[in-house]
Amino acid sequence: MSTDLGSKQNLIDEMLEVYPDKARKDRSKHYEINDENLINCGKCSIKSNMKSRPGVMTVRGCAYAGSKGVVWGPIKDMVHISHGPVGCGQYSWGTRRNYATGTLGVDNFTAMQITSDFQEKDIVFGGDKKLEEICREIKEMFPLAKGISIQSECPVGLIGDDIEAVAKKMTAEIGIPIIPVRCEGFRGVSQSLGHHIANDAIRDFLMGRRELEECGPYDVSIIGDYNIGGDAWASRILLEEMGLRVIAQWSGDGSINELAIAHKSKLNLIHCFRSMNYMCTTMEREYGVPWMEYNFFGPTKTIESLRAIADRFDDHIRDNCEKMIEKYRIQMDAIIGKYRPRLEGKKVMLLIGGLRPRHTIGAYEDLGMEIVAAGYEFGHKDDYTRTFPDLKEGTIIYDDPSAYELEELAQKLDIDLMGAGVKEKYVYHKMGIPFRQMHSWDYSGPYHGFDGFKVFARDMDMTVNSPVWDLLKDPQRKAVSV
């Protein structure tokens, strides 16, 4: 082990020393330092997708978050019922910033919080009757809603309500698909199982159920882009400029029809592998639709991905692709020319869900920034094996780190920027560390595609180089008094 790797290991060991023996042993398995051997063989032994340690504060979400918040919530022409007590839907309301076109309350329901608002009597006597009533009310209030999903919260599973029976009965009665999703928060170890459960419900109730009137040779679907701050729009225009036809967006700004016709694609393009790989493998197995991963963060990765996508088609698409790369490269070079000198060498740490810690590496590197530590809230082994080769030797990689671990590392590594979520944000501000919300893009976005990179570069500069940090006397050491 080189001295650099050795000193990084000491840093991790020291940080974990505060834990009791068992916790220390357990948490140490969720750390790894990137070294050449790992990069070359693409293997890593980091433990992931395991239960968070009780008593150690995790930043993970739950299965309901993974299904309602992530996969189903963005389907705009369906009403999604947060079935159970009011809090799950209320406190997550609008926070993910998945944009959609349409008229709110008429043919777009994404920004609404619809809940069955469980009370004590519903827990004691069951909530099935109430659920039936809500379905009827939805049909009456929102006659243009194309479907309803029932997103179970914890108590629904605990008391054993039969939401499947209600869904079946009400589908027949009101004549639109009503889909029960068993995504009670207690299932699994993070939101990741919620993605899987949500994918299974799409498979069982909608996938392959409708036909596409006219199919074309360039039909593709965007899988796993949730249109955060307009990401899917910034991606779609590039695919269209290349000459492809996007027939479905799963699920950002998507519709129930798009879920039902995507199996007609010639190629499925998956951005978020973690949350929707199950759908790609299912469509491949059942309908023979090939799929490929792509990455639209930062010009280097976007160009690489565009070429790889074009290569799956013909010369016509390949020519279009090269023309557009030429056009956008001028714009991108100008952006890099403007911001790179202001960001060169800045050290970044990341903790995000299951995709972005690896997908955004290239975008930071395009700006000359260096990822010194990165990790996932709920990544699986297949995410980590994809991540190691993209990071530099000596990068610390962590899985499901606690708030304490992350704060310690941020100080010890003397970073210039932290990218994580809103729960973390204000702690870092108080520590004097510039911070970006890498889930919601901090009320900004899009960050995907060439349009997105312009916003990304501006936002990183605005944050890292804000004069506000100079007003703190001793940033990163003395917290501002609270």
Our finding on whether 177 is near ligand CFN (CB under 6 A) is no
Residue 272 CB coordination number (10 Å): 22
Residue whose CB is less far from ligand CFN, 161 or 405: 405
Nearer to ligand CFN, 109 or 376 (CB): 376
Piece of the chain touching ligand CFN by CB under 6 A; list 5-13, 267-275, 361-369, 461-469 = 267-275
Does 353 help bind ligand CFN (rule: CB under 6 A)?
A: yes
**Which among 27, 30, 80, 96 is annotated as catalytic?**
96
Site size toward ligand CFN (CB under 6 A) is 15
Applying CB under 6 A, does 275 fall inside the site for ligand CFN?
yes
Q: Is 272 in the site for ligand CFN (CB under 6 A)?
A: yes
Q: How far apart are CB 92 and ligand CFN at their closest, in Å? A: 10
Q: x/- string (CB under 6 A) for ligand CFN, residues 385-424?
A: ----------------------------------------
CB 235, min distance to ligand CFN, A: 13
In the bound complex, what is the minimum distance in angstroms from residue 391's beta carbon to ligand CFN?
16
- Exposure letters 254-270 (e unless 16+ CB within 10 A, then b): bbbbbbbbbbbbbbbbb
Active site residue 30: no
Smallest separation (angstroms) from ligand CFN to the CB of 227 = 9
Binding characters for ligand CFN, 354-373, by CB under 6 A (x = yes):
xxx-----------------
Q: With CB under 6 A as the contact rule, which of the stretches 130-138, 206-214, 268-276, 412-420 interacts with ligand CFN?
A: 268-276
Q: Interaction with ligand CFN in 76-115: which residues (CB under 6 A)?
A: 96
| 59 part of the interface to ligand CFN, by CB under 6 A | no
| Near ligand CFN in 210-249, by CB under 6 A | 226, 228
Stretch that binds ligand CFN, among 123-131, 325-333, 351-359, 445-453 (CB under 6 A): 351-359
The one segment of 45-53, 181-189, 196-204, 352-360 that binds ligand CFN by CB under 6 A: 352-360
As measured in angstroms, the least distance from the Cβ of 196 to ligand CFN is 12
Q: Up-side HSE of residue 278: CA atoms within 13 Å toward CB?
A: 17
List the one residue from 16, 70, 197, 270 that touches ligand CFN (CB under 6 A).
Answer: 70
Token pair in block for residue 427: 């702690």
Among 187, 263, 439, 448, binds ligand CFN (CB under 6 A): 439
Catalytic residue among 65, 154, 183, 457: 65
Quick check: 187 binds ligand CFN (CB under 6 A)? no
d(C-alpha 275, C-alpha 270), whole Å: 10
The C-alpha angle 101, 102, 104, rounded to 5 degrees, equals 115
Nearer to ligand CFN, 161 or 390 (CB): 390
Q: Does 263 bind ligand CFN (CB under 6 A)?
A: no
Pairing of strands 31-33, 396-399: antiparallel
Indicate the residue whose CB is closest to ligand CFN.
Answer: 353
**62 assigned to active site:** yes
Going by C-beta distance under 8 Å and a sequence separation of 6 or more, which residues neighbour residue 112?
79, 104, 105
Q: How far is the CB of 439 from ligand CFN (least distance, A)?
A: 4
Which residue ranges make up the site for ligand CFN (CB under 6 A)? Answer: 66, 70, 96, 191, 226, 228, 272, 274-275, 352-356, 439
Name the residues annotated as catalytic: 62, 65, 96, 195
